[in-house]
Amino acid sequence: MITGALLCNGNENIPAPAQQSPILFTGATIHPASSAPFEGSLLAVKGRITKLFKKGEALDVPEGAMVLKLEGRHLYPAMIAANTVLGLTEIQAVRATRDMIEPGPINSNVRAQVAVNPDSELLPVARSNGVLFALSVPKTHGLIAGRSALMRLDGWTWEEMTAKASVGMHLSWPSVADPETARNAKQKKSMEDASKAGKKKLRMLREVLEKSRAYDKAKSAKDPSLKTDLRLEALVAVVRGQLPFFVHAQRLPEIIAAVEFCVRQEVRMVLVGGADAWRAAPLLKKHDIPVIVSPVNALPGRRWEDYDTAMRNPSVLQAAGVRFCITGPGGTMDAPHERNLPYQAARAASFGLPKEEALKSVTLYPAQILGVGDRLGSLEVGKDATLIITSGDPLEITTSINAAFISGRPVNLANKQTRLYEKYREKYRRLKKAAAGG
The per-residue pLDDT for range 390-419, each reduced to its tens digit, is 999 999 999 999 999 999 999 999 999 999
Please choose, from the candidates 426, 411, 420, 397, the residue with its C-alpha nearest in 3D space to the C-alpha of residue 128: 411
Domains, in order of start, for the chain:
13-78+377-418 (2.30.40.10), 79-374 (3.20.20.140)
pLDDT above 70 covers a percentage of the chain that reads 93
* Torsion of Cα atoms, 122 then 81 then 330 then 157, to 10°: 50
pLDDT at 231: 95
What are the residue ranges in the chain where pLDDT is below 50?
1-7
pLDDT at 368: 98
pLDDT at 2: 34
Are 15 and 156 contacting, i.e. CB atoms less than 8 angstroms apart? yes
pLDDT at 331: 85
- What letters, b where the CB count within 10 A reaches 16 and e where it falls short, cover 381-410? eebbbbbbbbeebbbeeebebebbbbbbbb
Judged on CB neighbours under 10 Å (0-12, 13-18, 19+), 218 is middle
pLDDT at 192: 67
pLDDT at 353: 98
Please list the residues that pair with 152 across neighbouring strands. Answer: 133
d(CA 180, CA 348): 25
Predicted structure pTM score: 0.91
d(CA 281, CA 8): 45
Are 369 and 268 contacting, i.e. CB atoms less than 8 angstroms apart? no
pLDDT at 195: 72
Are 292 and 148 contacting, i.e. CB atoms less than 8 angstroms apart? no
